[in-house]
Amino acid sequence: MFFPLLTTLLISLVFKLILIFTGAVPFNSDEAIVALAARHILQGARPVFYYGQAYMGTVDSFLVALAFSLFGESVWVMRFVQVGVYLLFTLSIWALTNRLFNNRSMANTAAFLAAIPPVMITTYTTPYFGTYGETLVFGNILLLVGFEIIYGKWQRSIIAWIGLGVIAGFAFWTFSMIGIYVLPVAMLGLWEHRLKLWRQYLVCAAAFLIGSSPWWWFNLHNDWAAWFALVNPSLIQVSFFERLIGFLGLGIPALLSIRPPWQALYFSGPILFVGGGLYLIAVLEVGRAAYKKTLPVSREVLSFLILYLGIYLGIFLGTNLGIDSTGRYLLPLFILLVMFIAYFIETIKQQRARVAYIVTIAFMLVNLSGTWLAAQSEDGITTQFDPITSFNNQNDQALIDFLIGNDLTRGYTNYWVTYRLAFLSSETLVYSPELPYKQNLTYTPADIRIPEYASLADDSPESTWITSKHPQLDAILRDRFFELGITFKEKQIGPYHLFYEFSQRVSPEDVGYGSE
């Protein structure tokens, strides 16, 4: 009975493992922050949020810490945990689709489409640099439980209401993007039941406070930093028109697998036209069916999905989150996309089953082609939008071996080098991220996510400096060292440029950079 679903989960597992073990997805410092938090949890630390920020609860770091305790600390162990999270997401897609459409064949198709997703989904669910995967799982569970409470048999079930509140609260601590899922459930529930279920509302609210208790605890001990991060995100102000253009021109093409999320360029012609055409036809078919009221769903389901889409669009286009059309904030749309495509394929299957299978394979080939092209690029499947910060891991071990072999374990570098070196060397190499990495040479002290690293670097009698893919900065540093009368050695290892063995100690502040 569940053979198609089990086969789909196996396909998804194999697909993810191929990406992991072929090195298609580079390990960078964003992911290293998650790994370092997990490592510190095993040493007794209990971080509520990731270092240097007041959002994204450390749920995944606790999961990774458990995996580290069982299998040892490594990048592949961490990513295998992420694979497990994605399999749960695929399973939740199957369950939600089956419940809403009451069609197991359509649910199987939706899960199959999620098994090999567009490259944008792969980008944010294969490396482990934030709680995006967990949020997608929690979101689908909330939609499923919420729909069952509003329209199903769980309206009077206190256990269901408690579960809904705890999951919503826990997911809110995990990542506030969960509001996209919580709001339609809350609004539709209030609309359908008004105040008739006020006791259940109170129980759910209390359960929410319990589930989100880490978020409240952090606020009470840190001057409400998480609250201010939620209501006043430090994003650039852009107009509604600019957000709309970004959404339609960059975001949607990335969601449809015709553009990698880290570039403003589309894939080559065949993927662009075949993929774009397939997705466009499918979405238009769903729109036509909804307009003619021939969608095989109840009024309640249709209202539920329309409200979900409307709230998402309102939040994304109506707030500064709309400035980021890279892909991560479009992840909640993926569930609607696979449902739309699954419905489109199901309508074809009712007339010509063989054609439906061909169309399904065509969608999968579009996603695979985009993923393959991205994986074959120099930097692989990356989250880096600026080429200067995008480099793979081919030279990491050579750099680590040189630094440890020459006892160059302390010094200064930039954000994108500091944390990946720290984790890959089990924190033998501790460098403070006080050097710029942007082309315009700007620097922010916020890069010092772990203050102890800066202290260790500053207290070291000797220091090594490491830049990455920045010849302009190398030339500036070289000139300033000469001006200070300091001699030194240089070495290039892949994208890394080293200044070491200084004739006297020098700090970033001496040359105009650093935390002061």
Q: What percent of the chain has pLDDT over 70?
A: 97
Tens-digit pLDDT profile for residues 206-216: 999 999 999 99
Whether the pLDDT of residue 478 is over 60: the answer is yes
Paired strand residues for 465: 412, 499
Q: Average pLDDT of 485-509? A: 95
SS3 content of the chain, % helix, strand, coil (to 5): 65, 5, 30
Span of 156-160, 251-255, 409-413, 429-433 with lowest mean pLDDT: 251-255
Q: What's the CA gap between 507 and 212, in Å, rounded?
A: 42
What's the one-letter identity of residue 152? G
Instruction: Provide DSSP, 385-443.
Output: -SGGG---STTHHHHHHHHHHTT--EEEE-HHHHHHHHHHTTTSSEEEE-S--STT---
Structure tokens at 24: 């298609």
Give how far Cα 263 sits from Cα of 301, 382, 440, 469, Å: 36, 10, 20, 18
Residue in 281, 299, 282 with CA at minimum distance from that of residue 339: 282
Which pLDDT score is estimated for 280? 84
- Beta strands 496-500 and 489-493 are antiparallel
Q: What's the CA gap between 360 and 339, in Å, rounded?
A: 13
Whether the pLDDT of residue 234 is over 60: the answer is no
Whether the pLDDT of residue 326 is over 80: the answer is no
The secondary structure of residue 347, as a DSSP letter, is: H
- Indicate the SS3 state at residue 326: coil
pTM of the model: 0.93
Q: What is the mean pLDDT of the chain?
A: 91
Tens-digit pLDDT profile for residues 24-66: 999 999 999 999 999 999 999 999 999 999 999 999 999 999 9
Instruction: Provide DSSP, 306-318.
Output: HHHHHHHHHHHHH
Instruction: Provide DSSP, 150-191.
Output: HHSS-TT-HHHHHHHHHHHHHHHHH-GGGHHHHHHHHHHHHH
Q: What percent of the chain has pLDDT over 90?
A: 65
What's the one-letter identity of residue 144? L
Q: What's the CA gap between 496 and 465, in Å, rounded?
A: 10
Tens-digit pLDDT profile for residues 80-125: 999 999 999 999 999 999 999 999 999 999 999 999 999 999 999 9
Do residues 295 and 344 lie in contact, with contact meaning Cβ atoms separated by under 8 Å?
no
Structure tokens at 94: 């199957």
Please give the span between the terminal C-alpha atoms of the chain, in angstroms, as a whole number: 64
